[in-house]
């Protein structure tokens, strides 16, 4: 009887030691992978942005072209509004629903604001829309996963069905690209597009990079209008042969609020 | 049994009260609704019996496929392709929400929230673009 108890205690002790020691062993063996990662970080320049992999849809907005043709931006906005059943609230900033809209340079690039800027930056309204960030803060803030990054193309999509209207995403977005439906938008929609839904009261909405049009092989509605003038270029940022990459390679572009670390997919030529 | 005099009549009143909807309607379920079926189109994306039971699940699957999984592969019905969606597929044949959807939903006292956002053909036509 005594020997049996002694044996039992020995086995129990050994098992307890093994249990405590196991996580330490796992940590030791995995440290090699961690070390190689650290080396990679050291080689990149400070603040350099790593590109996401796969198809990443993006846009270049050439403000020089928009400044030349002031009516072009209005047409692009109107095309978007029509396709997506966006309501229009005249002189009512609180209820305004914005997918693509106009804003002055000082509001679009506040960190680049200077006293002696070009005539265009002083006068022309800038086209602004959701930046479809690689690292979107709105997605992190959403408690219901109603907004998410589509892994197939990098679009920051929204599932209006799931939105509970908490507006955390609106607070999180550094670009003000999201709008809230404070009231039923339907009475304020001019014409209905029968192929797209409207929204209801209490739902947040934003630009979807025309996901429904891309599926049909069409370009986004705003791009379709502005493309011929060369004011907007749309395409895969990760495809080195795409038109958008050729423009990006040639022209110097800037992005909205890069310090936010959201890695926007919309580039501006100013 | 204590308080037989109050318990038994009490139970009787309770049972009568609970079964009120049944006997008030004369133990019949009322006239079964007959939704208007599309003319000239015999097929749907699934057999009628399955659609009757599971159309709401199918709509949710389509919603997730289109919005979340970027799976916008068209559905084929009777040789014609439709884009997955309430407005782009279902209502292309079932053109009258009031005479199709509502007949059963009213009978079953369910209020699906689809039409808070999705446009019925009638609503869409009310603000159609005029060229």
- Residue A33, pLDDT above cutoff 80: no
Q: Say if residue A164's pLDDT is above 90.
A: yes
The pLDDT, as a whole number, for residue A3 is: 73
CB neighbourhood size of B74 (10 A): 13
Instruction: Say which of A192, A200, A203 has its CB closest to residue B124.
Output: A192
Structure tokens at A189: 């929609």
Six token digits for residue B116: 């808070």
Cβ of A148 under 8 Å from any chain B Cβ? yes
Q: Residues 34..93 of B with a Cβ closer than 8 Å to A: which?
A: 63, 67-68, 70, 72, 83, 87-88
* Location of structure tokens 């895969």: A236
**Residues with pLDDT less than 70, chain B:** 130-131
From B65's Cα to the closest Cα of chain A, the distance in A is 11
pLDDT at A37: 52
Please report residues of B whose CB lies closer than 8 A to that of A160.
117
- A200/B117 Cβ within 8 A: yes
In chain B, the residue whose alpha carbon lies closest to the alpha carbon of A149 is B68
pLDDT of the residue at B31: 85
Query: What six digits make up the tokens of A184?
Result: 């039923």
- Contacts with B70 from chain A: Cβ below 8 Å: 150, 152-153, 211
Residues in A closer than 8 angstroms to B68, CB to CB, are 148, 150, 157, 159
Terminal alpha carbon distance of chain A:
89
Inter-chain touch A190–B127, beta carbons under 8 Å = yes
Q: Residue A194: closest CA among chain B residues belongs to which residue?
A: B124
The pLDDT assigned to A42 comes to 53
Confidence of residue A2 (pLDDT cuts 50, 70, 90): low
- Give the helix ranges, DSSP H, for chain B: 4-18, 20-24, 48-67, 91-93, 101-107, 114-117, 121-126
- Tell if the CB–CB gap between A192 and B87 is shorter than 8 Å: no
Chain A, residues 37-76, CB within 8 A of chain B, namely none
User: Domain ranges in chain A?
Assistant: 1-40, 55-269
Q: Which chain A residue has the Cα nearest residue B73?
A: A215
Residues of chain B in contact with residue A85, where contact means CB-CB under 8 angstroms, are: 119
**Under 8 Å between Cβ of A84 and A190:** no
pLDDT of residue A222: 96
Provide the pLDDT for residue A23: 78
- Asked if B129 lies within 8 A of A161 by C-beta distance, the reply is no
Instruction: Tell me the sheet residues that pair with A57.
Output: A236
pLDDT number for residue B39: 85
**A248 to chain B nearest CA, in Å?**
27
CATH of domain A55-269: 3.30.70.20
Least reliable range by pLDDT among A44-58, A108-122, A166-180, B1-15: A44-58
pLDDT at A66: 95
Task: Over range A20-25, report the average pLDDT.
Answer: 80
What average pLDDT does this structure show over A168-197? Answer: 95
For the segment A43-65, the average pLDDT, to the nearest whole number, is 83
Smallest CA–CA separation between A249 and chain B, in Å? 29
User: What mean pLDDT is reported for chain A?
Assistant: 90
Q: Where are the beta strands (DSSP E) in A108-209?
A: 126-129, 147-149, 156-158, 179-180, 204-205
Q: How much is the pLDDT for A126?
A: 96
> Best mutation site among B127, B129, B130, B131 for testing chain A: the one with the most A CBs within 10 Å?
B127
Partner residue opposite A197 with nearest CB, options B118, B125, B128: B118
Contact between A157 and B128 using a beta-carbon 8 Å cutoff: no
Any B CB within 8 A of A144 CB: no
Higher pLDDT, A238 or A31: A238
Contact A157 B67 (CB under 8 A): yes
A100 pLDDT exceeds 80? Answer: yes
Cβ–Cβ < 8 Å for A198, B117: yes
pLDDT score of A52 more than 80: no
B63 class by beta-carbon count within 10 Å (0-12 exposed, 13-18 middle, 19+ buried) = middle
How far is A66 from B27, CA to CA, in rounded Å?
71
Residues of A in contact with B116 (CB under 8 A): 200
């Amino acid at each position: 009887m005594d020997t049996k108890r002694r044996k039992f205690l020995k086995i129990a002790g050994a098992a307890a030691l093994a249990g405590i020691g196991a996580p330490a062993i796992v940590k030791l063996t995995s440290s090699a992978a961690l070390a190689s990662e650290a080396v990679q970080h050291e080689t990149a320049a400070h603040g350099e942005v790593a590109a996401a992999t796969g198809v990443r849809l993006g846009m270049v907005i050439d403000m020089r072209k928009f400044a030349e043709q002031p009516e072009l931006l209005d047409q692009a906005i109107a095309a978007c509004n029509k396709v997506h059943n966006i309501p229009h609230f005249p002189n009512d900033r609180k209820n305004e629903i914005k997918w693509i809209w106009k804003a002055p340079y000082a509001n679009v690039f506040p960190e680049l604001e200077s006293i002696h800027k070009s005539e265009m930056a002083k006068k022309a309204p800038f086209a602004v829309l959701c930046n479809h960030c690689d690292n979107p803060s709105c997605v992190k803030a959403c408690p219901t996963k109603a907004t998410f990054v589509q892994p197939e193309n990098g679009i920051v999509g929204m599932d209006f069905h799931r939105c509970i209207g908490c507006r955390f995403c609106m607070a999180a977005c550094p670009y003000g690209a999201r709008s809230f439906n404070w009231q039923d938008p339907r009475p304020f929609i001019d014409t209905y597009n029968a192929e797209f839904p409207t929204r209801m009261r209490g739902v947040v909405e934003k630009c979807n990079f025309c996901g429904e049009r891309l599926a049909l092989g069409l370009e986004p509605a705003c791009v379709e209008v502005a493309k011929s003038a060369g004011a907007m270029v749309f395409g895969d940022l990760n495809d080195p042969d795409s038109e958008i990459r050729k423009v990006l390679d040639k022209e110097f572009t800037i992005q909205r609020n890069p310090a936010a670390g959201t890695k926007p997919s919309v580039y501006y030529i100013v | 049994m204590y308080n037989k005099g109050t318990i038994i009549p009490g139970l009787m009143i309770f049972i009568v009260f609970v079964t009120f909807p049944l006997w008030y309607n004369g133990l019949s379920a009322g006239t079964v609704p007959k939704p208007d079926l599309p003319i000239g189109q015999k097929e749907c994306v699934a057999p009628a019996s399955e659609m009757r039971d599971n159309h709401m699940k199918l709509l949710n699957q389509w919603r997730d496929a289109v919005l979340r999984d970027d799976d916008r592969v068209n559905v084929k019905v009777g040789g014609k392709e439709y884009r997955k969606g309430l407005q782009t597929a279902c209502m292309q044949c079932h053109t009258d929400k009031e005479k199709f959807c509502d007949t059963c939903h009213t009978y079953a006292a369910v209020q699906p929230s689809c039409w808070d956002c999705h446009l019925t053909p009638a609503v869409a036509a009310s603000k159609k673009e005029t060229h």
